[in-house]
A and B are shown apart, each in its own frame.
Chain A
């Protein structure tokens, strides 16, 4: 198996799907000749031509709006939004058109497309290159929302997303785009879009997380292990549809849960998970569920950025507080 980092895995998944299906097309700002400002589409135009790898004018609403028309007509468009922070001009198209098209037409039409977008902090980009807006989209029925955390999953989940009959918002953790390489299958293996992954077994506490925070949480689990605390780490990978059964099973075993995400705390997706745990597992809980998240502020520029982002240290502290509580 070849070894790849996250951005190479994304690029490879796009190539595999474009070779497999001539209806798969890529469009967005700078995705063509330049190969994307973060290089996710590098080499695609050389291999598949400018007709299938399309540079568009600078308008996110137009990129998604045009992709809707393409999807209705039978293509499988994979529009790129250059940074998740710039997805909001397309918010109306995503929430009112992409998400509702099948429903409002009584199932006459469908709108299968994958909106790829790099998200999250840690690249010293300030508040317009650092946001984690996944909760907006998880809150919108009709969309699937995927956030891979490693090269292997990035590739397998993107392949599945492109083949999926429903629209998918695919958030890529740009902070770890080039952080490390790992072995990634080259046979076009698709990963299921309705399961989360237990990355580390544990018995004392469950850490639930996704995206770039998976690595922080695994580090935290390592540190906790040194202190004799056994933490189970769950990577959601797909936020919609959420595999809550795996979370419930873990929380029923450990009785404790810390949820880790980068987005601001209030009404973040962690709130939904905590509510669901309260509904289904409250009698299994030994301590209150705790969230380790970005603060309810905007992402500052680099000198204070690491104070905004969750860290392994904050996760460890939260886990210890939880254990102390019961």
Chain B
């Protein structure tokens, strides 16, 4: 017997013979895997050259170490909040690496790896977490809501799915300007319930806008499991109703993710329209540092996914290809640790706060009289009593 919330096949009346038949979406959208158990790869997939693959492996290791270190930092009270992507590294780097450098990325808040990949300095990223004077967002955004314009990496908002129509608009604009640019946008499976997922995919499909929609299906939207998010057996099948192509790939398989994204990009650039790529992965940790998943998720659900760890899987493949041995791997991990330590030292050396006047900048291209007046009011208040600048201090 099926549990009440389990997602299963849907019964449909066949248009020709009028009989009910089962539509098995899982069969229509099989999970595509490239990396095999033994570490070899399906030769049909788009190949990644050795040097590029090694670089991606290093990125994944760095991202994992970064996430672990930053969570510790949050527990120590040095940063206020953190959103990790542990276990989802293949999805993030496989997609980002498959795009061209000129392509824009419209992220959700769990793809900081893609920002780093696009050239955001590690120090700048850490300054964002600290909200200090080195922060490119001038201390305004929550941690993990980074923006990096030089890398065509858009700005992140906490409301869910809002970036999806932005990606569509940017790619639409690029087409109007005659640019060969394909936009990539990330969102979780929870976002597929939101308005902007629907409008974004619909707009893109109607106009064949060159976008790659990447759903990081990590199984959980904070405490709500995927089965409570949608009755669809797969996320990829949603593409059918929009009139676009859907793909379902093993999100812990770097090569499968890269392959699907590369093909989706090529179709988009060729004028064949957008693709919805569902990357099936798992959020092995909490949503953020603000929740303890033990409150809503049995630990035994997580254990099998730890065995499917995307870094272990690509590491096995690299060994088979003779690109990394244990000694090289240990060296790489030492380097990464040192790189993070050095970046953190540099980030923490910045003044702890952006200047007060920066509060009133960038609301408009130039401050209006309201902002100027209010800045003067705040400065006068600080001048008359410095405690205003830091209300937690009780003694001036």
Contact = CB atoms under 8 A, between A and B. Distances in A.
Q: Do A and B bind each other?
A: yes
Given A61-B199, A62-B165, A96-B157, A107 B172 contact: no
Contacts of B199: 57, 59, 61-62, 65
Contacts of B170: 69-70, 72-73
Interface residues of B, number: 47
Which of A69, A97, A101, A240 is packed against the most chain B CB atoms within 10 Å?
Answer: A69
A283 to B, nearest CB: 20
Interface in A59-84: 59, 61-62, 64-75, 77
Given A62-B202, A105-B147, A142-B363, A67 B169 contact: yes
Contacts of A89: 195
A66 B199 CA distance: 9
Contacts of B164: 65
A65 B183 CA distance: 14
Contacts of B136: 106, 108
Contacts of B362: 102-103, 105-107
B165 A69 contact: yes
A52 B369 CA distance: 35
Contact of B157 (A62, A100, A166): A100
A139 B137 CA distance: 23
Contacts of A165: 365
Nearest to B137: A106
Interface in B191-219: 195-196, 198-200, 202-203, 206
Contacts of B135: 106
Contacts of B176: 25, 51-52, 75
Interface string B334-370: 0000000000000000000000000001111100111
Contacts of B196: 61-62, 65, 93
A96 B172 CA distance: 22
Nearest to B198: A59
B144 interface: no
Interface residues of A, number: 46
Contacts, number: 144
Interface in A126-157: 141-142, 144
Contact of A69 (B137, B171, B198, B369): B171
A68 B165 contact: yes
A232 to B, nearest CB: 22
Given A68-B169, A69-B170, A75-B173, A102 B154 contact: no
Nearest to A108: B149
A69 B166 contact: yes
A104 B203 contact: no
A103 B140 contact: yes
Interface in B161-190: 162, 164-174, 176-177, 183
A72 B147 contact: no
Interface string A85-126: 000010011001100111111111110000000000000000
B308 interface: no
Contacts of A92: 159, 162
B258 interface: no
B232 interface: no
Contacts of A73: 104, 169-170, 173-174, 177
Given A56-B203, A74-B177, A108-B147, A142 B165 contact: no
A102 B141 CA distance: 12
A315 to B, nearest CB: 28
B368 A240 contact: yes
B145 interface: yes
Contact of B145 (A61, A104, A194): A104
A241 interface: yes
B220 interface: no
A165 B148 CA distance: 20
B147 A66 contact: no
Which of A70, A73, A142, A165 is packed against the most chain B CB atoms within 10 Å?
Answer: A73
A104 B165 contact: no
Given A57-B203, A96-B159, A141-B363, A65 B368 contact: no
Given A65-B168, A70-B169, A104-B147, 6 more contacts: A59-B202, A61-B195, A65-B166, A89-B195, A106-B362, A241-B369
14 contacts: A62-B168, A62-B199, A65-B168, A66-B165, A66-B172, A68-B165, A69-B171, A72-B166, A73-B177, A89-B195, A102-B362, A106-B135, A108-B137, A194-B368
Interface of B: 104, 106, 135-138, 140-141, 145, 147-149, 154-155, 157, 159, 162, 164-174, 176-177, 183, 195-196, 198-200, 202-203, 206, 361-365, 368-370
Q: Which 9 A-B pairs give the minimum distances between C-beta atoms?
A: A69-B169, A65-B165, A62-B199, A66-B169, A69-B170, A73-B173, A105-B155, A69-B166, A106-B137
